[in-house]
Amino acid sequence: MKAFSEELEGQCLIASPGLPGDLFSKSIVLVTHHESTGSLGVIFNRSSRRVLGELMHKIPDSLRDVRLYEGGPVEKNVLTLIGIEFHGNCLKIQSHLAPDGAAEFLRANQQGCQIRGYLGYAGWAAGQLEGEILRGDWKLMPLTPALIEPLSREKLWQWAYTSLQK
């Protein structure tokens, strides 16, 4: 199970249409942390109308317009900043950045990068996420530039789910 666990960090979980409950319906979750004790991630496709400057006033100017997303049902007041850097057809992420680190990330990677802010997160106990994947609740997909497109939550999920069926 260890090799399976190591592969999950940095992957996206695409919710299956039959996933029970409404919490993760039509969601794409980016797994930011995965180890034997449990997993953490953020819902990647639930954009809000808010920006970081509305939430925090003492931040670098380069972060004021960073879009905020609804990251998950756990601790909705906890902010996670994620840097996304484009490299051709693949992406590199840096999660859990401090505001100063996020501003530096933007300065160092000016072309093809962005910062996203997530309020709340998704969490799984040890072995829980693996069980949900094996049960078919989630499909795995690498984080790709297509998942960064500014589509509505449902359209982005539909595109991802459909592309996995091909």
Segments forming the whole domain that contains residue 47: 2-165
pLDDT in tens, 155-164: 999 999 999 8
C-alpha torsion 115→69→140→129, nearest 10: 120
Query: CATH no. for residue 69?
Result: 3.40.1740.10
Number of domains in the chain: 1
pLDDT in tens, 20-78: 778 899 999 999 999 989 999 999 999 999 999 999 989 999 999 999 999 999 999 99
Q: pTM to 2 decimals?
A: 0.88
CA distance 70 to 68: 7
